Amino acid sequence: MRMYDIIEKKKNKLSLTKEEIEFFVNGYVANEIPDYQVSSLLMAIVLNGMDDLEVTNLTLAMANSGDKLNLNFNAVDKHSTGGVGDKTTLIITPIVACLDCKVAKMSGKGLGYTGGTIDKLESIPGFKVQLDDDKFINQINDINVSIISQTKNIAPADKKIYALRDVTATVESIPLIASSIMSKKIASGAKNLVLDIKVGSGAFMKNLIDASKLGQTMVNIGKNASINTVAILTNMNEPLGNNIGNNLEVLEAIEVLKGNGPKDLTDISIELASYMVSITKNINYEEAKTKVIEVLDSGKALNKFYELVKYQGGDISKLNHTSKYEYKVYSKKSGYITKMDTAKIGKISSMLGAGRIKKDDLIDYNAGIVLNKKINDYVNKNDLLATLYTDKKIDLINDYLDSIEITDNKVNNDLILGVIK
């Protein structure tokens, strides 16, 4: 078998066999196939696509390229395609754990304008995001939940292929995006998976058509890999919740668990948690939602979150938000906020210190933004729109003002845009 023939086959819009896909994946991981040939194949995939069987075989080949976590229980996981202000993992994992579902969550750090769950957890003093397999599994058996950084050699083929995609303009391909995400999920061992696919200005998928295609592709991969999978399409045309930035988001997650959080964040957390419980316990969505709301209202989920933090060495009492500078953003006109450039707002948060551009950049856990007004809120001239927190002497007030649009009429702004099963 030759890589040349595999490239030519895909160039001619033909389907690759399982053996051909495994040959290129395993050969690339073993450094037996050069970057330039894999780059050529990736471009052919971007241009000509892959069918469902090809995508499944690519996903499984990448999942099998390294370590796999063998869980001895029926675990559930959740994955978000990335957004601004998305702290749902901190809310839904303790809710689901209270309902006798075991949550095995491996999360990542943020890069660019999208935040990472691990960065948020590391903003809690003492919180340990790295546990060995035994401690990870034992904690889940003890309290039904653990959230750790993906430190194992999980899907190394994906890591290597993604790095190549990043520099060869081959990132934007639904088969490649889907296989990248699902290969890591399959290797992580959970048999139940809820996907939160963000759609809009702050998401990788900008429109509902592409987001639906991605969701359906990943659900199909899950089914073919014997994983119960459901995809929820959610709105990312504005930040989720009111807080952006690491410890600001932890504090807001706690407010949701106390019953005091913003409606959009609370509603989407209930939605995601309900589907996690439904597919894991094999009960209908309405029954699962009733249980989720009861757990949230009772305070049990809040206590479970505190238990999770304590188990992993964190000290919530030492979580404190202080910044050297606060920049207030006031409206220059009256009307309804009808548009927010969520990606730009996320980039502003990163510039304040809350995110990283390169993987080794240091993060200021206190930096971020608190939003006072969002889409369809009416504002008067000189109303407070947001507060920017940072230790840097940097004025981004006009940048924030440029990221929003104020007009005379409200707009449609549904939170849940679809469900794919």
Distances (CA, A) of 116 to 29, 220, 263, 391: 26, 26, 22, 20
C-alpha to C-alpha distance for 108 and 149, rounded to whole angstroms: 6
State which amino acid sits at residue 16. L
| Cβ–Cβ < 8 Å for 88, 268 | yes
Active site residue 350: no
221 closest CA partner among 22, 55, 75, 418: 55
Write down the catalytic residue from 158, 196, 264, 341: 158
Active site residue 349: no
C-alpha to C-alpha distance for 94 and 92, rounded to whole angstroms: 6
Active site residue 79: yes
Write down the catalytic residue from 105, 109, 120, 165: 165
Is the CA virtual torsion 305, 252, 415, 193 positive or negative?
Answer: negative
Write down the catalytic residue from 10, 79, 159, 321: 79
C-alpha to C-alpha distance for 63 and 55, rounded to whole angstroms: 12
| Cβ–Cβ < 8 Å for 200, 234 | no
Is the CA virtual torsion 213, 216, 219, 223 positive or negative?
Answer: negative
Q: Residue 75, class by beta-carbon neighbours within 10 Å (0-12 exposed, 13-18 middle, 19+ buried)?
A: buried
274 closest CA partner among 264, 262, 265, 283: 283
User: Residue 148 corresponds to which tokens in the numbers above?
Assistant: 């750790």
Active site residue 226: no
Active site residue 2: no
State which amino acid sits at residue 216. Q
Please tell me whether residue 197 adopts helix, strand or coil conformation. strand
| Other beta carbons within 10 Å of 382 | 11
| Cβ–Cβ < 8 Å for 178, 54 | no
Give the catalytic positions in this structure: 79, 158, 165, 180, 184
